[in-house]
Structure formats: structure tokens, C-alpha cells
Amino acid sequence: MYQNIICAIDGSELSSKALGQALALAGATGGKVTAVTVTEPSVIVSPGAEMMMVDTSAIIDDLDKAKSESAKSILAEAESQAAATGAAIAKLHVANSTAADGILHAAREQKADLIVMGSHGRRGLGRLLLGSQASEVLSHSELPVLIVK
């Protein structure tokens, strides 16, 4: 049934729960799981910036490095969670993308047949029904999407 599952993770408790569901499905179907974490582009916005010259390249490089380290940590945690169940997972970091676009891109690149993700990410806790990134994935995915809450 589902042989190639993409699971979106962001280090939140809900994404850990989604990974548990993805691992259970893969175990039942003999499929594989790829844990995907996405980091957004680093942007600096400053009012009145059009009037001054500031080299922000070092700041952006530091932000990108911090996000890369965070992604490595999130993926390592997912790998530990999978190993605790006796499963192995593939890991993927999609940098410089919105969460929804990165998840959809990863699903296409990996030729996934299912996307598993939490109903809310770290930033979506204020939404009552469905987080904005989960809603975006649901709206644009050509694959089945399992939303875990």
C-alpha cells in the first residue's frame, strides 16, 4: 500500500507523534520513511534600510548555520525515535523554503506515495482547526496526506 512515506518534522511534540504514525504505517506495509525538516530563508527586514548600506551577509550566514544545526538536531532526534522502534529512516533537510513548499518538493523528489504531518507545527498553535502549513500541503498535494493531531 504505502511504500514510500514522507514525514514532516519540526521538533515539536506533534511532529514526533506524526513520525510515530508514519513508522507504524511503514512497519505494517513494509514501506520506508523519510523524515523531512524544512528551514525557511533567512531574511532581514529593517525600516528605512533603503537609506543605508549594511553588509548583512555575515548575519545571514550565521542565521543559516544556526538553522542548519537545528535541522541536524531535529533529524537526529527523529532517527533516535525510529531506532527505538527498531526501524531505520532516511533523513532530509530542505533549506530556504516555506514548510509546505519544502514538504511538497521533498515528496515529489522522493517519489513518495504518502505525506504524514502534524496538524500544527511550532508556529501554528493559534489556529483553531488546522495549521497554515498543513492546510497548504493538503490544498496542493497530489498525494494522500495523513494529518496527525
Domain ranges of the chain: 4-148
Return the higher-pLDDT residue of 126 and 149. 149
38 by DSSP, 3-state: which? Answer: strand
Confidence of residue 52 (pLDDT cuts 50, 70, 90): low
Residue 103, judged by CB atoms within 10 A of its CB (0-12, 13-18, 19+), counts as buried
- In angstroms, the Cα distances linking 72 to 57, 69, 93, 115, 141 are 22, 5, 8, 21, 26
- Does the domain at 4-148 match CATH 3.40.50.620? Answer given as yes
Q: What is the pTM of this model?
A: 0.87
Distance CA 88, CA 9 (A): 16
CA 145 to chain centre: 14
Q: Say what the pLDDT of residue 34 is.
A: 98
Per DSSP, 97 falls in state: S
- In angstroms, the Cα distances linking 85 to 11, 29, 37 are 18, 15, 20
- Give per-residue pLDDT as tens, 56-108: 778 888 899 999 999 999 999 999 999 999 999 999 999 999 999 999 999 99
